A and B are shown apart, each in its own frame.
Chain A
Amino acid sequence: MKEAQDLRAGNTVKVGNDLFLVQKMVYNKGARNASMVKLKLKNLETGASAESVYKAADKFNDIVLERRPMQYLYAANDQYTFMDQETFEQIDLNKDDLGDALNYLKEQMVLEVVRHEGKAVGVETPINVELKIEYTEPAVKGDTSGKVMKTAKLETGFEIQVPAYCVNGEKIRIDTRTGEFVARAQ
């Protein structure tokens, strides 16, 4: 069993009798620690996607489908091509299939491609990824506490909040479940 707040793009869950692939997950902290989660779920039988909301502690039956590490090669016309590093087999996934993983996707990155009945249906990103800051405003002098945050655009184009001490070109570690800054990369 997994709690809604622990799900991330690429996970598969069973709701009732249906299998769903998590495409997107947004976590929101609510009042008095009652947090909520918004999921974009793709029904693996019908292919239909729907948004659904949950309490952060709601429990899910997580199903582990077949997955294989594949390297992201390139994107063309909204199709994202991945290659199996052992068999050199190439597969295409579209934007929706990738969901949140798109925020962290860069060429040569190796991800787990999730398969259902032999067909690639999505990807699962590692919990932590390391990406370079492409642009962020310089810090205001004196902010060294790490509590003051600012927006940073990553090399994938995704924007996150980082501590004020982070600088352009720096590599940082991000938690892909929450899209939050974890630490400077070693």
Chain B
Amino acid sequence: MHFTSVDIFCHVIDNFGDVGVVYRFAKEFKCANPLCRVRIFVSDLKPLASILPAIGPAKIMQQTGGIEYIDSSAFDPSKVNELGVAEVLIEAFGCDIPEMVMRLAEKQPTLIINLEYLSAEKWAFGYHLKQSLLGQPLLKKYFFMPGITENSGGVIIDTEIEQAREDLRRNRPKHLDSYLKICNVSTIYDDQALFGSVFTYVRGFDTLLTHLQGLNKPVYLFIFGDKSHVSMLNSLRHFGGQALQDRYYRLKNIHAFFMPFLPQSKYDRLLCLTDFNLVRGEDSFVRALLSEKPFIWNAYIQENSYQHIKVSAFLDVFKTYFEDAAVFKHYSDLVLEFNQAPSETPQQTTHEDYGRFFSDLNKIEHATRKMSYFIRLNCDLVKKFTSFLYQI
């Protein structure tokens, strides 16, 4: 089909993941299709403003980066006629498109795409690009399933990061220092030091800190988000960590920096600069994977512990990129144990063994790099999405 306009609908459930993915998708889609009008209808602009500072959370309609943002919770539905409806409507993560919009859409040829959550589970392929019969002559609807294998919808590859990657690699000390400066710390860059980022749900970090204290080198941890802040602070205090400054704690060889919320692009860059990353949810998981650095994924905690199935499905795919089965086994055991932590408990309840993770960092990095390379080559979501629109 020929398309000149896309409207994306997003209902924010919690945290930053939903709107984060939508924003990233819109940005990359606009980049790939600069002549196409892209609008985002989002139920809550506040989380978006956190990751995209150009957004004013109180404005009902605004435009930045060539994309129009509309606060759907404050928007007067009777004005839908004035706004019109795009040729392509995207319901992000199966959110319902407002009825007024659907009524208009029924009167013109419209393609609706349900852009779903990322899943490595095998059943998801059975839904990818499958039609949803609506019985409306002018409406067509399909499911688009993001994933990390060739037969899935792929993941969003951030072109800005791809372009910055080489500079980040070459000028790593300078870039790392710029993050330390955010916490008013000027540190002499140490070649032997270990840098890590932490952005997880609430959980215990005692086992991590115990292990890091045993390393014979300085460790710099960048900690993001309230949930990680609460958790890390609890574990630092447990071991007698001292506050040196507002955002800077020290525990023996460990330097912990409690970072403010950073724009998405700045956080993405840091993931490429560190030696390891602890990430949470869907979007940060993809960024960590594409950063080519070893990472541990804290999956979104779900009813009936469904996150374990998601984590196992990811590990099944990741396994094929490891050359040493023993390295994968240790890594896999660690990630599975890490995800056993119950929700909202900053106490250590799990028994992660980080020993092999840190001794195998190079091997895990190698596997991550291989997978990342494959994904860039074969699993570019925006390319796949655009090509589907043209084919249909």
Chain A interface (Cβ < 8 Å from any Cβ of B): 14-18, 26, 28-34, 36, 38, 41, 50-55, 58
Q: At the interface, yes or no: B117 with Cβ under 8 Å from chain A?
A: yes
Chain B interface (Cβ < 8 Å from any Cβ of A): 13, 93-94, 114, 116-119, 121, 123-124, 126-127, 130-137, 143, 282, 300, 302-303, 306, 310
Contact, CB under 8 Å: B126 / A38: yes
- Among A16, A18, A53, point to the contact of B132 (Cβ < 8 A): A53
Q: CA–CA, A29 to B119, complex, Å?
A: 11
Q: Which residues of A contact B300 (CB under 8 A)?
A: 31-32
Q: CA–CA, A119 to B236, complex, Å?
A: 73
Other than A15-B134, A28-B121, A31-B117, give 8 A-B pairs with Cβ distance below 8 A.
A16-B136, A26-B126, A30-B117, A32-B117, A36-B94, A38-B127, A52-B131, A55-B114
- Among A15, A36, A38, A54, point to the contact of B135 (Cβ < 8 A): A15
Shortest distance in angstroms between A22's beta carbon and chain B's nearest beta carbon? Answer: 12
Contact, CB under 8 Å: B134 / A32: no
Q: Across the interface, name the chain B residue whose C-beta is closest to A39.
A: B133
From DSSP, what is the main secondary structure of chain A's interface residues?
A: strand
From DSSP, what is the main secondary structure of chain B's interface residues?
A: loop
Q: Which residues of B contact A14 (CB under 8 A)?
A: 135
Q: Which residues of A contact B132 (CB under 8 A)?
A: 52-54, 58
- Among B121, B124, B303, point to the contact of A33 (Cβ < 8 A): B303
> A15-B134, A50-B133, A52-B130 known; A31 and B303 CB under 8 Å?
no
Which of A17, A31, A32 has most B Cβ within 10 Å? A31
Which of A15, A30, A41 has most B Cβ within 10 Å? A30
Q: CA–CA, A14 to B135, complex, Å?
A: 9
Q: CA–CA, A36 to B127, complex, Å?
A: 9
Contact, CB under 8 Å: B302 / A31: yes
Shortest distance in angstroms between A9's beta carbon and chain B's nearest beta carbon? Answer: 17
Q: CA–CA, A90 to B191, complex, Å?
A: 83
Q: Which residues of B contact A53 (CB under 8 A)?
A: 127, 130-132, 143
Q: CA–CA, A29 to B302, complex, Å?
A: 11
Q: CA–CA, A52 to B132, complex, Å?
A: 5
Contact, CB under 8 Å: A31 / B143: no
Q: Which residues of B contact A55 (CB under 8 A)?
A: 94, 114
- Among A29, A32, A41, point to the contact of B133 (Cβ < 8 A): A41
